[in-house]
Structure 1
Amino acid sequence: MDYVSVVIDQEVARITLDAPPGNRINFQMREELGQAVDRVAAGTARALLVTGAGEDFCLGGDARQWVDVPVEKLRPKIAVFAEALHKLEQLRIPTIAVVQGTCAGGGFELALSCDLILAGESARFVFPEAFLGIMTLQGGIVQLAERVGRARAIELVMTGEPQPARRLADWNIVTNVVPDPELDAEAAAWADRLGHGPTATYAATKDLLEIWRSEAAMRHGPACTTSPCRCSSGRTYRQPSAQPPSPWTQASRSPRPRGRIGRPRRAEPLPSSTAAPWCLLTAPGETGRGCSIAGVAGPVRAPACVPRGPAL
């Protein structure tokens, strides 16, 4: 691989972005990142470090390659990175992003796809997409909201202002901040500790969080019934039939009176005209190809869709 390296040393694996300067995510790096995660998944490592060579962790996607590329050809190339991040999130071992310098755009989403983020004091985090007239293509806004809440997530994404690592640590986005010269040693210590920990327990913990994500998606909005479904958070949610029954979504269960706020609601069928802006399988104005919404008959229009996964 030319832009991504993988080193597995007993219990600890390390994936390094190596495309100086800035480690911008070009088309080839997207493919290599997925291959690197596959190699780690197939190996015996019990913890993973994700690092960037040079002064910056990652400056985000290499938009210079997007110029004059037709949408129908750009969409699957973007989807390659989405799939790589999904594979990273699904690893059965603890994953740690080790961030120095600038962590921007897709690089920020890469870090958020790890379980933990360690940062040097020089680290700066930013989503500059708003200035480019695009959204966070790999679900960064949702990844942020999971960690810090809706209001802070909107602030970070809409203002596009770089944030220091210390502030994001205060906001529970970054796990720990250390002086830059100590970053590698701190990362090695975390990896060694987790690599010698109860791996099966860590995997079960991640499974519980995935169930929580899926349940939240089904409570707060209709879910795609295709398999797999790439939704705005970048997760592949299970089909509704595969979900354990939830007391908040069973139509046969009467809601308990708990006041207006937080009161469970009875699940109701959705009208056939329901729009699905979170279903990212189609482009703006197109009709969902193979993507249907629970309770909706016929194709669904997706007015705000962005390429997220392969067309089904």
Structure 2
Amino acid sequence: MTVTDPPFGDTPPLRLTFDGPLAVLTIDRAPENVFDRSMLECWGHALEWLTQNPPRALLINAIGRVVSTGLDVTILDELSQYGAEKFWAEQLTMIKALEDLPCPTVFAAHGLTLTAAFEISLACDFILAAKTARFGLVERRVAFIPSMGGVQRLAARAGRNRAAQLVMTGEFYRARVLAEWGVVDSLFDGAGFADQARAYAMRLALGPTAAHAATKKVLAAVRDGGVAAADAVQPRISEGVARTKDHHRAVTAFLTEGPLHETEYFGH
């Protein structure tokens, strides 16, 4: 099923479809999947819609040889004269909306993933990559800085020094290296990567939706205020999950069928 509201136009660079409980956002402007203004506008519309209609999980992938060659440099040329602060604030609003979705979010990188696309991946809960994929924040080549939250989110995953190294060298880094740094969460062979990524995301979509959302709330509290902040909200969050039908069914199944029960979850 393809979502037609919000409208992305006749030939959108970004498509939002559904596979049962799994929403799939597909970057579709091959061969380079450049993040131009129309692409960024579609991302804004998509995140507004998903915030109002959260799925049970979200998979982000791309069509073509590369995931994306990154931001359209003509945008930087335009912003060198005026409007840069407002423009980047708008992009960060979109990034935060993705980060704050109450469902698990998965970014699947099958190939080269640069600048804006890499920064979007860093706002997701999980980054999956083909072993041959490469990543880069290469803004130094235009004497700029990643401005869609990539520096700080990379530092949160890999540490300040690793983030400085990746951004200041402007080099491409293989998925294997970023997996060692804790940036990429899982590596897969290139053959069958799309199917493996979808299966990974679908498993999350079919899981205990309220419990997943609660986990994200606790992790957000840790991010914003540390362990003490998470401890302060944990009882209230846990009470909310305790009231869900999925939790009640799972507890009953555990007690009657044992820990290997295969209870179906419905997201409520």
TM-score by length of 1: 0.66
How much does 1:44 deviate? 5.8
Provide the residue aligned with 1:23 in structure 2.
33
How much does 1:181 deviate? 1.9
Q: Which ranges in structure 1 are unaligned for 5 or more consecutive residues?
A: 217-243, 246-312
Q: Report the secondary structure of 1:106's partner residue.
A: helix
**Distance in 2 between the 1:37 and 1:73 partners?**
22
Provide the residue aligned with 1:182 in structure 2.
192
**Distance in 2 between the 1:18 and 1:81 partners?**
19
**Distance in 1 between the 2:121 and 2:31 partners?**
18
1:60–1:107 Cα contact (<8 Å) kept: yes
Question: Are 2:57 and 1:32 equivalent residues in the alignment?
Answer: no
Provide the residue aligned with 2:176 in structure 1.
166
- Which of 36, 41, 49 aligns to 2:51? It is 41
- After superposing the two structures, state which structure 1 stretch, 40-49 or 21-30, moved more: 40-49
**Distance in 1 between the 2:124 and 2:73 partners?**
23
Question: Are 2:122 and 1:136 equivalent residues in the alignment?
Answer: no
For the structure 1 residues 185 and 68, does the alpha-carbon distance in structure 2 shift closer, same or farther, using more than 3 Å as the test? closer
How much does 1:155 deviate? 1.1
**Distance in 1 between the 2:205 and 2:148 partners?**
28
Provide the residue aligned with 1:260 in structure 2.
none
1:31–1:80 Cα contact (<8 Å) kept: no
- Which of 106, 113, 116 aligns to 2:123? It is 113
- Which of 174, 199, 202 aligns to 2:209? It is 199
- Which of 145, 150, 157 aligns to 2:160? It is 150
For the structure 1 residues 73 and 149, does the alpha-carbon distance in structure 2 shift closer, same or farther, using more than 3 Å as the test? closer
Provide the residue aligned with 2:136 in structure 1.
126
Q: How many residues align?
A: 219
How much does 1:41 deviate? 3.2
- Which of 86, 96, 111 aligns to 1:101? It is 111
Q: Report the secondary structure of 2:29's partner residue.
A: coil
2:65–2:111 Cα contact (<8 Å) kept: yes
Residue type of the alignment partner of 1:61: L
**Distance in 2 between the 1:124 and 1:94 partners?**
23
How much does 1:122 deviate? 2.0
Question: Are 2:21 and 1:11 equivalent residues in the alignment?
Answer: yes
Q: Report the secondary structure of 2:65's partner residue.
A: coil
For the structure 1 residues 142 and 179, does the alpha-carbon distance in structure 2 shift closer, same or farther, using more than 3 Å as the test? same
**Distance in 2 between the 1:55 and 1:98 partners?**
13
Provide the residue aligned with 1:307 in structure 2.
none
Provide the residue aligned with 1:87 in structure 2.
97
**Distance in 1 between the 2:81 and 2:17 partners?**
35
Q: Which ranges in structure 2 are unaligned for 5 or more consecutive residues?
A: 1-7, 227-231, 234-268
Q: Greater share of helix residues, 1 or 2?
A: 2
Q: Report the secondary structure of 1:72's partner residue.
A: coil
**Distance in 1 between the 2:97 and 2:38 partners?**
17
Q: Report the secondary structure of 1:67's partner residue.
A: helix
Q: Superposition RMSD on alpha carbons, in Å?
A: 2.0
1:109–1:140 Cα contact (<8 Å) kept: yes
TM-score by length of 2: 0.76
